[in-house]
Amino acid sequence: MAVKVKDLLELSSLQGMKLLAGEKGLDRVVCSAGIADYEFAPDIAYCSENAFEKDSFVISSLLFAQNDKQRILPAVKALYAFGTSAFAFKRIIFDSLPREVIDFAEEKQYPLFTFGEEFYFENIIYEIMDAVQRDDTQILAEEKIKKMIDNELSADEVNRISKSVSLLFRRCAMAVYIQPRFPEKQMDTGRIFRNFYMNKRLKHKSLLCRYNRGLFLILTSPYDEEEKFALILEEIVNALGLDASAQSFFRSGIHPPHEELDRCFRESYHTYMASAAEGRDYASYDQIGMFRYLIPQKDDVALREFSDAIMEPLLNKEELLRTGIDFVLHGGDVHQTACACSCHDNTIRYRLAKVKELTGAAGKTEAEFYAELSAAVRIYLLRKGTESKF
């Protein structure tokens, strides 16, 4: 369930707020919080669609109206037009609001609050954003994300999830799974989440959630261009203070969020799984080749039997097993395999001949041998759960 205005009144920083008007609007959804002051000051144009976030809870000291109380009504009307969820003012400059402001809020069922000097803006903002974060975390709990990755949710369930989180999706979305490149350098997820939810600019275009010792970033844009998403990702990485050289980023394709949010999660995580299996860093789903069909079927009995028939004769022959795996990971290039194994090209050719013999491929062409060995090795690595030290 999305956070509503009435839910926020249970927070310690908001319990002292008094409702002045708009009681029937307490079911409005809240996805963010903001402060309104300079935007409504004299000679400042505030009629911008990005001035305030839609579905945000806005607070103010009414400093902009200290010399002219008539500025309050246009400001409240503007906030309502922006689609904000509620407005609260601190009793510092004014103890009350003009009657016409109260009447407008009551007519529009726009919740209007007041609170005293003992409450601090930063505490209110922080508690609201913390509540939004906890709600996102509940909606996108790890078990829910796993079901999306495993393709276990119906289209209706995926649509409901996409419309329940705080991110207001645009036409397109992409998922990016983030894992530390070096296991000994873990991410400070607490700091990352705090920075993310307190950064107003990021809330328009992204959502952050935890999954399996890593983080998922969900990005959204009105454009289906990879360059646009690359810019959004770069902005977020910089804003959150992430060391890009110490993290690996696994991107999904670009899809419509309400219909295919699960596909975004699935493709991004499958990119990570392919990278972990091969010990390399695939940046995006379109790079992982046969893993696109092997990963969803990795537990299939027929695939397991196919892989076992080729790999089991090698399991007690470490040198041949390593050579076969390196041969596949280097794209069937004998010389690169020799370099990886620190031996001569002819030594690799000899070992591969033994592999062909042991796996029953002696009568097959080189192309047939490589095709079958390549699939068998990748299934083996997936099932083994190899995790690369990126």
Task: Indicate the pTM of the whole model.
Answer: 0.76
The separation between CA 76 and the C-alpha centre of its own chain, rounded to angstroms, equals 33
CA 334 to CA 214: how far, in whole Å? Answer: 36
Residues with Cβ < 8 Å from 353, sequence gap 6 or more? Answer: none
Q: Most distant CA pair in the chain: distance in Å?
A: 93
5 three-class SS: helix
- Beta sheet of 247-251, edge-to-edge order: 206-211, 214-221, 172-180, 247-251
The pLDDT profile of the chain, 390 residues, written as one tens digit per residue, is 578 999 999 998 898 899 999 999 999 989 888 898 877 877 655 554 556 778 899 999 999 998 899 999 999 999 999 999 999 999 999 999 999 999 999 999 999 999 998 989 989 988 898 888 888 888 899 999 999 999 999 999 999 999 888 888 999 999 999 999 877 777 888 888 888 877 878 878 999 999 988 999 999 999 999 999 999 999 999 998 888 888 999 999 999 999 999 999 999 999 999 999 988 889 999 999 999 999 999 888 999 999 999 999 999 999 999 999 999 999 999 999 999 889 999 999 999 999 999 998 888 899 999 999 999 999 999 988 744 432
